Structure 1
């Protein structure tokens, strides 16, 4: 069972929960970082496109595992530019279940290729 934790009296966010408690999980799936490159090799032109592609890639991996975004316990998002945060949120916020999983967003110097602007890794439980 997956329960999101947000302590009373603390600010809440539509984008993340403070913690995710997992009890009695039968399976845990660790999803490698998904980037803004689609199955045909197309690299999204901007943060919005890359965010949508990365989320679609994450969703595809979850589906293959027999899961969906409601199984997400922890998500880590890497962006290469802090000015990309609003564009990322606009493009990808719809992909989070309610309540959202525990989430960390980091600004990093670079990803595996210079054209990549976003990478999303996740832990899902069933």
Structure 2
């Protein structure tokens, strides 16, 4: 069981929960960074397409382990451009559970390839 934790007085944010409490021994899935590429390795044309592909790739790994977005306890998002945050949030909306998992978003200088704009890694429990 995963319980999202928001301390009293913390702001309610639609895109993250301050904490995720796992209350019993569970299977744990560590998802390596998933980038915005399709099954052929082709990167999406822009941040919106790459965000959709990266979240779809995370969800595919979850499904392969018999899990779904509701099993996400922690997500870390890496973007290469701060200006892409709103477009990422809009494109990824609905791909993550509600309430959202504990989430960290970082702006980084670059990813594994110069055409990659987003990478998402996650921890899920079942």
TM-score grouping bracket, smaller chain normalisation: over 0.9
SS of 1:38's partner is coil
**Whole-Å separation in 2 of the counterparts to 1:13 and 1:26:** 27
What is the CA deviation profile of residues 62-111 of structure 1, one whole-angstrom value per residue up to 9, with x for unaligned ones? 00000000000000000000000011001002112111100000000000
For structure 2, the 5+ residue unaligned runs are none
**Whole-Å separation in 2 of the counterparts to 1:72 and 1:98:** 10
- Residue equivalent to 2:112: 112
Q: CA RMSD in A?
A: 0.7
- Residue equivalent to 2:74: 74
Q: CA deviation at 1:26?
A: 2.2
**Whole-Å separation in 2 of the counterparts to 1:77 and 1:93:** 14
Moved over 4 A (4+): none
Q: CA deviation at 1:24?
A: 1.0
- Residue equivalent to 2:88: 88
Normalised to the residue count of structure 2, the TM-score between the two structures is 0.98
- Residue equivalent to 2:100: 100
Corresponding pairs, count: 126
Alignment check: 8 A CA contact 1:2 1:71 kept:
yes
